[in-house]
A and B are shown apart, each in its own frame.
Chain A
Amino acid sequence: MSNTTTTAIDPAAWIRRQSRWSALEVAFWLAALLPFYFFPTYLMLASQIAVAALFAISVDLILGYAGIVTLGHAMFFGIGAYTAGLLSAKAGWGEPISGLLIAGAMAGAVGFVVSFLIVRVQHLALIMVTLGLGLLTYELANAMSWLTGGTDGLRGIDIWPIFGLFRFDLWGYTAYSYTLAVLFLGFLAARRIVNSSFGLALRGIRENVRRMPAIGSPYRRHLQAIYTISAAIAGLAGGLLTQTTNTVALESLSFQRSADVVVMLILGGTGRLYGAVLGALVFLLVRDRLSGVNPQYWYFWIGLMLMVVVLFMPKGILGGLTRLAGRTKG
């Protein structure tokens, strides 16, 4: 379609333009290396931010791009976390990279099964189904305490050094290098997905699900595919958390975790991958700072911040910044 007479945009060229790297993006990822040099005592926090960001990206793929509202995504995070933990604690396999891949695959497999149910419901029912599935998984893990360790958490996790060389140290150098690398790879994959024709089809589903079959797009299959991918990425995030902290407890499956990740997304801005990363960064940094100042009431400020963002920056912090940048330019 190299039509020069009409003003219609060539879709392939449009996609290519979208997927070009901007200087700002490169600067962002370089900035992610700063903690190594300037904040070496914050590396564990940085590592947990990277985990939260990867989890937020997985939710953004379905919530921000495909319009699947979920309040139960911690289910996949937890499945990944427990898979990585059980591999080491029960099966004695502590090799981190293969363990992480198995964790992601496990979560993805469960996600694929669940996706058959997910694509059949919408709106309020969808929220209820995801919420219900999340709670069911939580209770299941609680009931199977012989396997999961129940409320005490899983014990005996021992993760081997990465490539047999880099031990997980007290300062968190290995942990942050590892989580940042996985976050970057996960981000690249997500970026490739949303900037493809498949990603465009997802946005079409989000905007108007009835029209998609009319233009010959099999929306159910698309939704299933993205839901499975999202579950697998969430599983990777969960596996990372287990491997870098050597602990996993029921909390990794909790409703709180599902809700927090949605809060992060809304803060950062949905439907734009950097919003997920930024949201996780802001949420965990603010939480860390505020809970240091006042350990009892920090959630009050998170609530206030959420309301301010939703009222004044409906597209999240990133959306607000983009609009601001646009205004100063124009």
Chain B
Amino acid sequence: MTKTVFGAIALAVGLGWTMAATAQETVKVGVILPYSGPFADAANQLDAGIKLYMAQNGDEVAGKTIEIIRKDTGGPSPDVARRLAQELVVRDGVDILAGFALTPEALGAAEISKEAQKLMVVMNAATSIVTEQSPYAVRTSVTIPQLNYTFGKWAFEEGGVTQAYTLVADYGPGHDAESSFSKGFTEAGGKILGSDRTPVANPDFSAFVQRVKDSNPEAVYIFVPGGGQPAAIGKALVDRGLAPPDTKIFAQGELTHPEALESMGDTAKGIITTYHYTLERDDPLNAEFVAAYREANGDRAPDLFSIGGYDGMHLIYEALKKTGGDTSGDALVEAAKGMAWQSPRGPISIDPETRDIVQTVYIRQVEEVDGSLQNVILQEIPEVKDPLHGAN
């Protein structure tokens, strides 16, 4: 048995070599995303970002053709993501792994990236630890602590709030948001009056909001998943009389993204959010990006997923140019370290030590501009790094 296994391994290695030999002219990028299931919309937005970048910049880099191979994980399933990554490497002979909308899937695939020594471009998954799992992982999206730790500090120092209440959805990203906002806020000198967690699916916010009101905070920090929840919590807050300017409402940007603003209506006015991408930001690069994106996607506006995919492709293109087409993981990750460029979201760079993104954090407030609600930038905090790297 062992003999035949070794025979098979030899055969397989041989196959692998021939595959590598024929793959000289193209650079294969394996994109792993949850194209079906509950996160399909996020995957499609991210994929649209990838497509837009390739449509604008052609598919040829450093004399090689970029070929994208798309694989569906069907939801948050790390085992499937891991298997797909492994198959992409051994069967399709990809040079770069990319995509990864969800943290567990990125964690599942990171091990393959490490073992096969392939560059892994994380285009969304927002938990700090992701880039620590493989020395070949680079992130082009955002981390939750990056936004919310900064926001917590800002809330005390600039927002003029001394005590606050947190109300977050009861799942991984919500827990991260709660702890990083609280950390930033209390380190600056603020006091957290209380913390509550709401169910992820179909919560009734009224009881939670009543509890918040009973403790009479100056501000309430909210983190809920997108979709129908922003409108529901906005209504619950107004019903209980918790609204700006009496009580400040803080949140991460999902709460007031364009579709959510539409459904929240006037109740959204005055909400202050933290985000790394602001659709309405007045900047020629951004205007061009938004216009092209809307045209390619039936007037749908880009969101954080789109920008993550778009910048991820930029990183792959630029890294390949730098290495002159060398696709080895070591060369590419070296090329990516310290890379800096102008993105539609503003100036961004890759931290050479953590391979994580460094970018401007925007503090925005919902205001009425020309008859429609918009996130108006109050303050830009430049060159923010993830505060958790190296912390544990």
Contacts and interface: CB of A to CB of B under 8 A. Distances in A.
Interface string B317-334: 000000000000000000
Contacts of B171: 142, 150-151
B86 A295 contact: no
A170 B79 contact: no
A171 B10 CA distance: 12
A206 B77 CA distance: 34
A172 B86 contact: yes
Interface residues of B, number: 47
B253 interface: no
A9 interface: no
Contacts of A256: 37, 75
A292 B36 CA distance: 12
Contacts of A45: 83, 87
A41 B18 CA distance: 13
B8 A173 contact: yes
A137 interface: no
A153 interface: yes
A196 interface: no
Interface string A236-254: 0000010001111111101
B107 A171 contact: no
Interface string A263-276: 00000000000000
B82 interface: yes
A122 to B, nearest CB: 29
Interface in A207-228: none
Contacts of B44: 296
Contacts of B83: 44-45, 48, 245
Contacts of A177: 5
Contacts of B79: 48, 241, 245, 247-249, 251-252
Interface string B159-192: 0000000000011110100000000000000000
A177 B6 CA distance: 13
A41 B76 contact: no
A249 B104 contact: yes
A246 B5 contact: no
A295 to B, nearest CB: 4
B15 A297 contact: no
Contacts of B175: 145, 150
Contacts of A297: 36
A254 B75 CA distance: 11
A151 B76 CA distance: 8
Interface in B51-98: 70-72, 74-80, 82-83, 86-87, 89-91
Interface in A35-50: 36-37, 40-42, 44-45, 48
Interface string A291-305: 110011111000000
A155 interface: yes
A152 B103 contact: yes
Nearest to B176: A152
Highest count of chain B CB atoms <10 Å: which of A42, A143, A153, A296: A153
Nearest to A33: B4
Contact of B9 (A48, A173, A287): A173
B115 interface: yes
A296 B40 contact: yes
Contacts of A41: 12, 15, 87, 90-91
A251 B82 contact: no
Nearest to A257: B77
Contacts of A143: 170
A170 B36 contact: no
Interface string B269-294: 00000000000000000000000000
Nearest to A287: B74
B95 to A, nearest CB: 16
B33 interface: yes
A36 B5 contact: yes
B76 A249 contact: yes
B8 to A, nearest CB: 5
B112 interface: yes
A58 to B, nearest CB: 18
B129 interface: yes
Nearest to A242: B79
B12 A251 contact: no
A142 B170 contact: yes
Interface in A156-183: 170-173, 177
A250 B35 contact: no
A245 B172 contact: no
Given A151-B104, A296-B44, A291 B82 contact: no
Interface of A: 36-37, 40-42, 44-45, 48, 142-143, 145, 150-153, 155, 170-173, 177, 241, 245-252, 254, 256, 287, 291-292, 295-299
Interface of B: 4-5, 8-9, 11-12, 15, 33, 35-37, 40, 44, 70-72, 74-80, 82-83, 86-87, 89-91, 103-104, 107-108, 111-112, 115-116, 127, 129, 133, 170-173, 175, 200
Given A36-B8, A295-B36, A296-B36, 5 more contacts: A37-B11, A151-B103, A153-B104, A247-B79, A251-B104
29 contacts: A36-B4, A37-B11, A40-B12, A42-B87, A42-B91, A48-B79, A48-B83, A142-B171, A142-B200, A151-B172, A152-B103, A152-B172, A153-B78, A153-B104, A155-B133, A171-B90, A173-B9, A241-B79, A245-B82, A245-B108, A247-B78, A247-B82, A254-B75, A291-B36, A291-B71, A291-B72, A291-B74, A295-B35, A296-B40
